Amino acid sequence: MLVNNTINNTCPIRQKIREFYRIGESEAIDHILPEAEVNMAARSRAWERARTMVLQIRRDQEGHGGIDALLNEFSLSTAEGIVLMCLAEALLRVPDKHTQEELIRDKLSKGEWTPHLGNSDSLFVNASAWGLLLTGNMVNYADKRKSEQFGLLKKTMGRLGEPVIRKAMKIAMKVMGRQFVMGERIEDAVERAAKKETQGYVYSYDMLGEGARTGKDAERYYQAYVKAIEVIGKAAKGRGPRKSPGISVKLSAIHPRYDFAKYDRVMEEIPAKLKTLCLMAKKYDIGLTVDAEESERLDISLDIIEKVFSDPDLEGWHGFGLAVQSYQKRAIFVIEWLRELTLKVGRKMMVRLVKGAYWDTEIKHSQQGGFDDFPVFTRKTSTDVSYHACANRMLAYRDSIYPQFATHNAYTASVIIELAGGDKEGFEFQCLHGMGDSLYDQVVTKDKIQCRVYAPVGVHEELLAYLVRRLLENGANSSFVNAIVDDSLQVESLLEDPVERTQRLQVRENKQIVMPVDLYAPSRANARGFDIYDLNATLDLSLRLEKWFEEHVKALGDVDEAENQIIVRNPALLSEIVGTHQLHGKADMLAMLERTTKASESWSKEPVEDRADLLMRIAGILERHMDELIGLCIKEAGKITSDSIDEVREAVDFCRYYAVEAKRLDPSNRLQSRGVVLCISPWNFPLAIFMGQIAAALVTGNTVIAKPAEQTSLIAKRALELMISVGLPEDTVNIVIANGPDVGDVLLPDERIQCVMFTGSTQTGSLISQILAARGTEQVPLIAETGGQNCMIVDSTALPEQVVDDVIMSGFLSAGQRCSALRVLFVQEDIADVVSEMIVGAMKELSLGDPAFLSTDIGPVIDKKALKALNDHAEYMQENGKLLHKCELPASDGNFFAPHFFEIDNIDVLKKEVFGPCVHLVRFKGKEIDKVIQQINGTGFGLTMGIHSRIEERAIELAHLSRAGNVYINRNMIGAIVGVQPFGGRGLSGTGPKAGGPNYLPRLMKERATPKVASQVENYADDKAIQSDATAVTEANNLMDSALAVENQWRLTPLISRISFVRQLLAKIANVEIVEELAEDLNQTLATARTQLIAIERRLRAPIHLPGPTGESNTLHLEPRGVLVCFADKDVTFEYWMLSIVTALATGNLVISVVSDLFYEEALTFKEKLASTGAPNSVFQVANLCHLEALLMNKGLTGVVVDSRTDRSAYISAKLAERQGAILPVITAEYNDNLIQRLVTEKTISIDTTASGGNTSLMTLVEDDD
């Protein structure tokens, strides 16, 4: 399983490289520190040389200084610096003027640009500041002289307007582009380089562009390399690789699937392409360097390099090169391996030593993955030590390696010059175009050592990702480039020897960077992940999985058909039997319920600390048995390996998260367990959701009957065995294996089931609600997470490459079988052709097949029923849409459905959720983006939504307007993490509260203060007062229409304003006589209401910031449900009725208060007094009892608030269950804070804050010595 043995490598040095992949920082430093030592005399000479260099650099930069001065002026510590990068990254990609203007306004409103004018003598800084000023805030200048100076400019801008502003902004960006890029064409770049080449510089050209997503991309980049080699080769004029310009090649640019998981394909295709490029370089005798990329690609890159470098056709050519990243902990062994390779082949290699360009990405990826450690050093000084150690080795190996030292650090350069002795020809330095000019002018002219300039070539649209990366790296607080232009820093502070500093450190790791396991510390550990790019571990896992499955099949024995037996087959290979189940009958289920009910008596009395400890032990046993659980996910559920790993991790996270939450849930002892909870879990997350439901129910003192999906019950049964092995008491959890309708007939009507947790289809959720309501009791708690018509909105500022990655991941991976998966893709028409073409190209690279192999991208759908539904949809789309592409099906007897990409006119074409790998493209006009969100909300679904936009204000506004429970900005829209992105929807997509969130567990408990036994009514026909005739129906519908007309206005009214309106209402009714007559104690009621408003203001004034990996923002927002009925008859107290109205209005809901005659006059007074405050009309309306039935059936309703004292709550519950559509709550609460929580819904907004090109929070860290 997973891989074949071709990835095994017996070379001892390659094994060391693998062993040091994620080794601890202290251990790595201990290994390389002796290698980095420089004798004291050489160190002293290097220090003095560097000091002289820095002083000269500062003198040279007075009055000019290019990008160095810009970095100093627009420091990353200012809002302007960050905005500059965000704008540069996006602006030149935006094709339409309207969106360009919005982007400029959005970004430039974030900074005060005027103060930067005149602050620098650098023409570049002032040119940029002028460009930014043109669309800035146009503040009033405190300095009168400046005011006069810029008065004409402001008038001109006011007269000419935004088109001129937009043009000026583009010019400013192109100025920056020229600073970093040699030319838009390779011919231009070579011509521009001629002057510097006469001064002792040479060049290495980098063809700009993102990594290839499609075969077409890869071919385009490949041809760009071919052309560049021809042009460079002719310019070289046979001077040889050392003295000639060269080219740098990214393997990710010439192949769309450059990934270890695609090992066999990569090794077949990339070496052949690379060899062809090398033969061309050999023809002209120029250098070709393979650029370093992400750490996960290092191992496979070495296989490629060994294969190509060893090719006898390259004999006699010494221009092959490789970049090595010193920030990787294994860099020293890569140098050793290259040494061995060059000796074995008998040919020299050019080796470029760099610090590394993906540091922030490596940190984030490791934290997200829950890996043991980072592949890179967390301290810059550690990277510098590694650089010095590698440099020492490279200089020692000059007989087979030509060292190329890429650095802008004067001290590092000085140390290397000292280490090289008198040798001026056996190595060279390298610098980035546009940076470090002054430093290397000294090295080239005084020391006569060659410097090669790494020079990007490409059009401005392709420059931007590179531009932002350079700005972030070199503008970082730890960067020598940034520090050198800061006159407030003493020269001596820039010249500290990294070896000396590292030796002085008490702690080698940077404690400001959280280790992956400590991401949620101190409350809990992050679930341990598995890195498939740790090749030794992957090989071991592959062997263990094969052994596990052999033993599993052996234990299963021969399987024959039998009555009431389910045979479980591998959905990817239907001939392969994975296991069997015996179906439970009615008697089995009732006996199980009896035992589970009895067990609840003792389990509910267990201290919460003991229940939480059990969950922690369960988490531990799941982690220890990750191998077989991964195997079951693959074989039983058809999940690919990465999804299977995530499945186990999510189950572990649920256990730990709920254990922690339970211990701080109820300090006042106001809640108690409910009894027996029925947990109905789906097949698409057969372990994670199964365990999440059970863990939540158990830790709150309930016992569980768990009903896993029939398709995936093997993993559920194994999980229960593991739970029992760590101390789960007998009968606290029982598993029922039965068809859904049989469980519905036997267990749901039984009143011993006190709560139901369900994840599945919207239709099944509604059916469960109806069966529960048929009991004739008050509403039984039902926590349902149901379907979604999940959409992504992409405007023209979005980065197409990122959109494509996220569409593929969100819509097609996992075979589209996630509740959160993308179904409808709205793309602004200006970029729709480009985006759709790229998606089609990326789809062509997807591999469908057996999920037991890492090379498989997409596995099967779960069963024949799912397959038929998808095939039926494909047939429906023949008449109702346009097929843009479908993937190739594998030759297999499995349940495979090819991913389909359709285009449709509008979302209404889709009549139901399509649960599989189908994405539907809808185009929209840029000015009509608000209509798009209305269409999405109009579907009634509200599970997940994605937004891709660089206009921050727009993205946030769309997120707040969305009715989805989980909104993802500039990232994929799947893979919610427990406690980080609490998951769940609203409307047709679920009831809430969110799983894996802080408000989930209370719903599994009941309030101790419930005043009486729940009402139960068998026949409502005799209650004529609450029945609606035709007139009442019309009147009720008019009330609802009036409320809906102002719903958005009220929910978007600032919280402080809403509370002010309600406070004014309280003040006005304090003096109304009829209100005082109805209230038992009006002063007490008013005091309670005012206290409630304070509590609402505290709870809703700001979102909850949730923990998570660096480079992400995750916030939990509380939002109004919508239009609520606040019910009051003779059994309801005035205080409860009034408090429900106050709470509902203040939380942003609209209220239709259905009251009996007892409350009617008072209710009208409330309406009149609220209207007199200036609150929008129809925010609060009054209805009679005769309107209740009609309102309960109106599709605009979102819930009913009722006092538990009224006998009519059972009737309300039953009527709501009759409705078509969303499952609505009957809201009652004895504690006021609980009432607040029940009247709001939750929304998680998750933002990839690195989407503009880098992680500013990491880059601005200042290291300390602790």
Residues noted as catalytic = 785, 819
Contact 206, 454 (CB under 8 A): yes
Which is it for strands 824-828 and 753-759: parallel, antiparallel or unpaired? Answer: unpaired
Cα 1122–Cα 1123–Cα 1129 angle in degrees, nearest 5? 140
Q: How would you class 492 by CB atoms within 10 Å of its CB: exposed for 0-12, middle for 13-18, buried for 19 or more?
A: exposed
First CA to last CA distance, the chain: 46
Contact 982, 976 (CB under 8 A): yes
3-state secondary structure 580-644: EEECCCHHHHHHHHHHHHHHHHHHCCCCHHHHHHHHHHHHHHHHHCHHHHHHHHHHHHCCCHHHH
552 token code pair = 């599993």
503 token code pair = 């030796």
Q: How many DSSP H helices and E strands does the chain contain?
A: 47, 32
Q: Is 347 helix (H, G, I), strand (E, B) or coil?
A: coil
Residue 496 CB: number of other CB atoms within 10 A?
14
**Phi, psi for 1095 (deg, rounded to 5):** -65, -40
User: What is d(CA 575, CA 875) in angstroms, rounded to the nearest whole number?
Assistant: 28
User: What residues does 1153 pair with on adjacent strands?
Assistant: 1126, 1182
User: What is d(CA 281, CA 287) in angstroms, rounded to the nearest whole number?
Assistant: 7
User: What is d(CA 688, CA 1092) in angstroms, rounded to the nearest whole number?
Assistant: 37
The DSSP secondary-structure symbol of 934 reads H
Contact 1190, 1028 (CB under 8 A): yes
* Residue in 535, 453, 528 with CA at minimum distance from that of residue 7: 535
User: What is d(CA 895, CA 865) in angstroms, rounded to the nearest whole number?
Assistant: 10
Q: How would you class 1031 by CB atoms within 10 Å of its CB: exposed for 0-12, middle for 13-18, buried for 19 or more?
A: exposed
User: What is d(CA 164, CA 114) in angstroms, rounded to the nearest whole number?
Assistant: 19
User: What is d(CA 530, CA 2) in angstroms, rounded to the nearest whole number?
Assistant: 13
* Strand order across the beta sheet in which 824-828 lies: 882-886, 900-903, 918-924, 824-828, 791-794, 944-948, 966-969, 1240-1248, 1112-1120, 1104-1105
Place of tokens 């993102």: 210
* Strand order across the beta sheet in which 703-707 lies: 733-735, 703-707, 676-680, 753-759, 782-785
User: What is d(CA 1044, CA 713) in angstroms, rounded to the nearest whole number?
Assistant: 44
Secondary structure element (H or E) that encloses residue 515, with its range: none
Q: Is 483 helix (H, G, I), strand (E, B) or coil?
A: helix
Place of tokens 């610096």: 81
* Residue in 1190, 1189, 1193 with CA at minimum distance from that of residue 1221: 1193
Distances (CA, A) of 646 to 640, 652, 975: 10, 10, 8
> How is 1123-1179 classified by DSSP, letter by letter?
EEEEEE-TTS-HHHHHHHHHHHHHTT-EEEEEE-HHHHHHHHHHHHHHHHTTPPTTS
Contact 908, 931 (CB under 8 A): no
User: What is d(CA 948, CA 955) in angstroms, rounded to the nearest whole number?
Assistant: 7
Residue 297 CB: number of other CB atoms within 10 A?
18
